[in-house]
Amino acid sequence: MDNNKKLFEELLKADGIAPKGVSESERISFAKMLDQQLKQKQSKPIHRPNIWKTIMKNKITKLTTAAVVIIGIGLGITFLDKAATPAYAIEQTIEALEDVNSVYIEQIIREKGTLLNIKIWARRGRHGKFFFGDFRQEACDTGDIMIVNENENRTYYYNPSTNKAFIYEGLNATIGSFLDKNYFLHLQQKMEIVELEYAKDKITNKEVIILKYRVPILSKYEQSIEKSAVMTFDLETKLPIRWTSWDNPDFKGEPCFEWTLIKYNPELADDTFKFEIPENATVIKK
């Protein structure tokens, strides 16, 4: 046990982390884990893997050393085994997004007691960004449709309840910056990690990483407010598959919105971003 304690401290020092920030109970827990692993693998040499260095040095894991150890114990991750679950870094998501040219999203929005189910299609623009590229949004509950066509430089909006079609010059609606690297770079710098864990997803049955975090957002009144969110990443692709956000820092109440499904590079019909004026609709040009 004493040897394991010493090994633990050496690992921390090698990665530039002060051992004094770890409690005695956490040292003991880590040592017990090592003892158990060594008994199971007496015939195998011990290697110090890259996973430890990755977990400690990547900006996304602004967790304390103790938290990392607790996650490892709770999920059976062997930090001294090359076959261990790989560490996650937000840079991997940024890199994976470079191969994404289009998305399909199913979204739930809650606003002032109203719940809306939304479907979204988006495609990167000529400048390589998702915001202000081609965009289509359909409200499943009301039938409202909004289409942004980059080639035509127009935004279309149709309200079936009034049978009015609005045509705007310019690209006036967007999916936002979520799928661009700048969003994740901002997240990397500003977020406070509440929890980072590995799990098996109950919906897809895939291995996932679940990130719970708080992040300051600048409001329309130029005041900084803190929001909380949960993002689920596919461990294999490193891409987000779900995203839930609250308008408070404590994950309280119903979330203000949820991306319940995110599909990458879906097949898009030729008319996905084309707008056809419905019969007898009143056309209003802006």
Q: What are the structure tokens assigned to 72, written together?
A: 């490892």
Whether residue 163 sits in one domain with residue 273: yes
Same domain, yes or no: 173 and 250: yes
pLDDT of residue 219 exceeding 80: no
Taking residues 206-217, report their average pLDDT.
91
Do residue 7 and residue 147 come from a single domain?
no
Quick one: 249 and 149 in the same domain? yes
> What CATH number is given to the structural domain containing 219?
2.50.20.10
- State how far the Cα of 249 lies from the Cα of 245, in Å rounded to an integer: 10
Indicate whether 246 and 263 sit together in one domain. Answer: yes
Name residue 18's beta-bridge partners. Answer: none
Q: Helices marked H in the chain — which ranges? A: 2-14, 24-40, 50-57, 65-75, 90-97, 181-190
226-269, pLDDT tens digit by residue?
999 999 999 999 999 999 999 999 999 999 999 999 999 999 99
How many residues comprise the chain?
Answer: 286
Nearest to 67 by CA among 14, 30, 13, 92: 30
Six-digit token string for 156: 């279309």
pLDDT recorded at residue 176: 82
> Mean pLDDT throughout 115-128?
93
What's the CA gap between 241 and 228, in Å, rounded? 17
Q: How far apart are CA 229 and CA 149, in angstroms?
A: 31
Joined tokens for residue 219? 């409001």
Are 129 and 228 in the same domain?
yes
Judge contact between 190 and 214, C-beta under 8 A.
Answer: no
Q: Are 101 and 252 in contact (CB under 8 A)?
A: no
Beta strands in the chain (DSSP E): 102-111, 114-123, 134-139, 145-149, 154-159, 164-169, 192-200, 207-218, 224-234, 240-246, 257-264, 282-285
Q: Global pTM?
A: 0.67
Considering the domain architecture, whether residues 35 and 145 belong to the same structural domain is answered as no
| Whether residue 62 sits in one domain with residue 92 | no
Rounded CA-CA distance 192/188 in Å is 9
Please identify, among 87, 120, 146, the residue that sits at the C-terminal boundary of a domain. Answer: 87
Enumerate residues 6+ apart whose C-beta is below 8 A from 185: 94
In this prediction, residue 261 carries a pLDDT of: 96
Same domain, 130 and 155: yes
Query: Given CA atoms 89, 95, 96, 102 in this order, what sign does their dihedral have?
Result: positive
Q: Find the domain containing 21 and state its range.
A: 2-87
At 107, the amino acid letter reads: Q
User: In terms of DSSP bridges, do strands 224-234 and 240-246 run parallel, antiparallel, or are they unpaired?
Assistant: antiparallel
**How far, in Å, CA of 59 to CA of 49, rounded?**
19
What pLDDT digit, counting tens, does each position of 45-88 carry?
Answer: 434 333 333 333 343 333 333 333 333 333 333 323 333 345 67
Q: Check whether residue 219 and residue 204 sit in a common domain.
A: yes
Q: List the beta bridge partners of residue 213.
A: 193, 229
**Strand 164-169 to strand 282-285: parallel, antiparallel, or no bridges (unpaired)?**
parallel
